[in-house]
């Protein structure tokens, strides 16, 4: 098989995966389902998680020898885009990028791997901590004698998960442990976000936990998993932006002013073209990054690529959702129209793992460092 044939085959596989995921999400209820789950408390649907697992969604980036499909991060990006289109609350990016990203690098033989791929459990990852002033701080959460003590902040998916993958400190350095959500000494403080989802502030007080891995490998695997999740979050923002633009395009064809659809006004047409171009550029850029990350082995380069994707996707999503609300007029600010759901989800996803300003600074600093070294 020639290289061209291989590329064509991979593209066809991704196309079929996209069609399958889109059909699955639309059959489940599309964006309307997200509204219902938000109004019911902001959690996700365990039955939908199992359906996604049966379709092979969570194992797309896991190597075949570890029980996955071995399709790489590019396939994960396809799933993330489709989840973004319907603002699905299920932990798609969390599981593919973070939970499985950590386990497949550190303990691929652990039973939780198969359970995550099979949709039997959901595991949130707790690695960040809040300092006295509210800003991120160095890790102080301790693990000793099989028990956890301390706090973790900004834990996505804490509500609804059956357990936590916690990065803590012990005498020998960093350690990754597994704590059950129902274990003694676990307190979850639920913090509501703009889109109705929640972050968890975790407190551990002598909580029993099982050690999974320790040493420098934990920090290396965490950096890789965070880079994966960052790029996948960018893909989710791309899918969200595309659908928000489509919704708006359809609306301006029917909304009338001065007895004419506003879409017939030249200034609106120019604005729509600008948004479409931004969407197309972001889509191409993020998909290119995901493909490059599949081939790249240098962790620093992978992290820079992820920053490039997130910066572009956040800028695009914020611009498109903001303009979409404005083009809807006053009704765009009401909860009756879905476009507000997309705006709120864009705000939450944009902030998670760093916004556009943060990642743009990382990308440009890396470029300056390369230029200085030449």
- What's the pLDDT tens digit per position in 355-369? 999 999 998 888 887
Partner residues linked to 214 by β-bridges: 175
- How far does CA 152 lie from the centroid of its chain? 19
Q: Which residues contact 216 (CB under 8 A, 6 or more apart)?
A: 173, 174
From CA 90, how far away is CA 70, in angstroms rounded? 22
Q: Where does CATH 1.10.540.10 sit in the chain?
A: 3-121
Three-state DSSP state, 144: strand
Residue 226 CA: distances (Å) to CA of 85, 93, 306? 22, 11, 9
Return the pLDDT at 132: 81
Partner residues linked to 213 by β-bridges: 176
Return the pLDDT at 241: 97
CATH class of residue range 125-214: mainly beta
Name the nearest CA neighbour of 15 among 61, 70, 81: 81
* pLDDT tens track for 155-200: 999 988 999 999 999 998 999 999 999 999 999 999 889 898 889 9
Return the pLDDT at 337: 84
What integer is the mean pLDDT of 145-155?
A: 95
Q: Name the pLDDT band for 46 (thresholds 50, 70, 90).
A: confident
Q: Name the pLDDT band for 213 (thresholds 50, 70, 90).
A: very high
8 A C-beta contact, residue 230 and residue 304: no
- How far does CA 47 lie from the centroid of its chain? 20
Q: Which pair of structure tokens corresponds to residue 177?
A: 């442990």
Report residue 198: phi and psi, to 5°. Answer: -140, 150
From CA 336, how far away is CA 363, in angstroms rounded? 39
Q: Where does CATH 1.20.140.10 sit in the chain?
A: 218-373
Report residue 180: phi and psi, to 5°. Answer: -75, 145
Q: Where does CATH 2.40.110.10 sit in the chain?
A: 125-214
Return the pLDDT at 258: 74
From CA 106, how far away is CA 352, in angstroms rounded? 24
Name the nearest CA neighbour of 168 among 128, 130, 135, 195: 128
Return the pLDDT at 28: 84
Residue 204 CA: distances (Å) to CA of 146, 207, 231, 303, 332? 12, 6, 30, 30, 42
Is the model's pLDDT at 373 over the cut of 80?
no
Query: Looking at 35-44, 276-285, 340-349, 354-363, which range is the least confident one?
Result: 35-44
CATH 1.10.540.10 fits domain 3-121: yes
Name the nearest CA neighbour of 139 among 173, 91, 189, 89: 173
The proportion of the chain whose per-residue pLDDT surpasses 90, expressed as a percent, equals 67
8 A C-beta contact, residue 99 and residue 43: no
Is the model's pLDDT at 203 over the cut of 80?
yes
CATH superfamily of 218-373: Butyryl-CoA Dehydrogenase, subunit A, domain 3 (1.20.140.10)
Q: Name the pLDDT band for 139 (thresholds 50, 70, 90).
A: confident
* pLDDT tens track for 265-296: 778 888 889 999 999 999 999 999 999 999 99
What integer is the mean pLDDT of 144-152?
A: 95
Partner residues linked to 186 by β-bridges: 204
8 A C-beta contact, residue 172 and residue 193: no
**For residue 200, how many other CB atoms are within 10 A of its CB?**
24
8 A C-beta contact, residue 37 and residue 28: no
Burial 333-352 (b: 16+ CB within 10 A, else e): eeeebbbbbbbbbbbbbbeb
8 A C-beta contact, residue 168 and residue 174: yes
* Sign, Cα dihedral of 201, 202, 205, 211: negative
Is the model's pLDDT at 298 over the cut of 60?
yes
């Amino acid at each position: 098989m020639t290289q061209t044939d291989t590329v064509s085959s991979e593209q066809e596989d991704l196309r079929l995966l996209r069609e399958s995921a889109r059909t699955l999400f639309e059959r489940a209820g599309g964006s309307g389902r997200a509204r219902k789950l938000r109004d019911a408390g902001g959690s996700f649907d365990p039955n939908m998680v199992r359906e996604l697992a049966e379709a092979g969604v969570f194992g797309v980036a896991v190597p075949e020898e570890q029980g996955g499909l071995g399709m790489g991060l590019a396939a994960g990006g396809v799933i993330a885009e489709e989840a973004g289109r319907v603002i699905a609350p299920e932990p798609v990016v969390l599981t593919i990028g973070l939970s499985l990203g950590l386990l497949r690098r550190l303990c691929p033989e652990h039973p939780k791997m198969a359970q995550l791929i099979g949709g039997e459990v959901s595991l949130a990852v707790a690695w960040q901590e809040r300092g006295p002033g509210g800003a991120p701080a160095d890790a102080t959460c301790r693990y000793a004698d099989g028990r956890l003590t301390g706090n973790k902040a900004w834990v996505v998916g804490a509500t609804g998960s059956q357990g936590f993958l916690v990065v803590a400190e012990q005498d020998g350095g960093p350690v990754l442990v597994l704590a059950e959500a129902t274990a003694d000494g676990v307190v979850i403080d639920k913090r509501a976000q703009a889109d109705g989802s929640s972050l968890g502030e975790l407190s551990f007080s002598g909580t029993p936990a099982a050690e999974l891995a320790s040493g420098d490998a934990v920090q290396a695997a965490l950096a890789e998993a965070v880079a994966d999740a960052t790029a996948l979050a960018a893909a989710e923002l791309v899918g969200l932006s595309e659908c928000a633009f489509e919704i708006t395009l359809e609306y301006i064809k029917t909304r009338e002013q001065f007895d004419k659809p506003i879409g017939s006004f030249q200034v609106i047409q120019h604005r729509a073209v600008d948004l479409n171009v931004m969407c197309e550029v972001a889509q191409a850029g993020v998909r290119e990054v995901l493909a490059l990350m599949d081939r790249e082995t240098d962790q620093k380069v992978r992290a820079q690529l992820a920053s490039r994707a997130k910066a572009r996707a956040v800028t695009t999503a914020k611009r498109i959702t903001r303009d979409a609300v404005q083009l809807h007029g006053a009704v765009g600010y009401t909860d009756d129209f879905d476009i507000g759901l997309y705006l709120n989800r864009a705000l939450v996803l944009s902030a998670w793992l760093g916004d556009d300003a943060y990642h743009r600074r990382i990308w440009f600093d890396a470029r300056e460092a390369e230029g200085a070294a030449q």
